Amino acid sequence: MRRERREDTRTWAPADDGVVIVDKPQGSTSHDVVAKMRYLARTRKVGHAGTLDPMATGVLVVGIGKATRLLTYIVGATKEYAATIRLGESTLTDDAEGERTGTGAVAAVTRDDVEREVRALTGEILQVPTAVSAIKVDGLRSYARVRAGEDVALAARPVTVSRFEVLDLRPAQTLDGAAVLDVDVVVECSSGTYVRALARDLGAALGVGGHLTALRRTRVGAFTLDSTEASTLEGFQAEAEDEGQVRVIPIATAAAGVLPVRPLTDTEATDLAFGRAVEASGVPGPHAAILGEGPTRRLVAIVEDARRHGTVAARPLTVFVDR
């Protein structure tokens, strides 16, 4: 018997333009989270700043409305992770979702050995990304080539691992009884760093193989998992149902969390709204051009100093206010 589809009669107001910090659940894709937030925010204009693998949990910064224009600048922010690396076992994907590709004896591995190789993977390093990744090779995703049976060799790229700290070592066993060593770590790194690749390279350096068994992103720039604004998807739904709207971090507050602030006068705000340049900020890189202070402040534009016709001025890269 065919079951009739029940219409969702729950109603609440569309969310304001802004950012939410979602604690992504394990097993969900970042796209799944965006789809759910479109429903909760009552708008299709939703995006995220930096993909998390389905296995991973934690901070996924989601932009709503005009805040989607800010995501480009949030993506490049530094990240922090809590992770568990399993030494003694390698996998195709460098994490627990891939098939085992090799094993190694861990009985002789000491904490000193682990910390020595962790130090070698800290700082400015060249990292070969995980082959099972979304990086494109001749127009096709690397993971698609690997799953089609190809051997993919990605080029090393510079990344910065500002913190790679060993918290604990725990002897463990695989499902078939093989001895392995689980290493709990904290990683702070630049955008584009693969924690899976750190697990792989740590295992390789120790000669025993390694992969990632758990990954939780705890911070993206100024957006942290322990902030009062962070919540699960279920929490945001309950908020919408109870309070009549999903609560967001205002665009100006979000921008000030990832970019230096360039205060504006009323005249400068008008100029930027019309695409005109204003006085140079004096510091390289993008700035959040903000009018006012406190809860009523507004993000007018993202600006960056540039020389044109012999004059250096702060020119708008993205404008957030209507003319």
Question: Which residues are catalytic, by number?
Answer: 53
Specify the 3-state DSSP secondary structure of 7: coil
CA distance 129 to 256: 31
Residue with tokens 């076992």: 89
Closest residue by Cα to residue 122 from 58, 201, 180: 201
CA distance 73 to 19: 13
HSE, CB side, 13 Å, CA atoms: give it for residue 48. 21
Using alpha carbons, list the distances in angstroms from residue 256 to 222, 260, 282, 309: 9, 6, 17, 30
Residue with tokens 């051009």: 289
Q: For residue 105, count CB atoms less than 10 angstroms from its CB and return exposed for 0-12, middle for 13-18, buried for 19 or more.
A: exposed
DSSP 225-269: TTSTTEE-HHHHHHHHHHHSS---EEHHHHHHHHS-EEEE-HHHH
Q: Are the C-beta atoms of 196 and 187 separated by less than 8 Å?
A: no
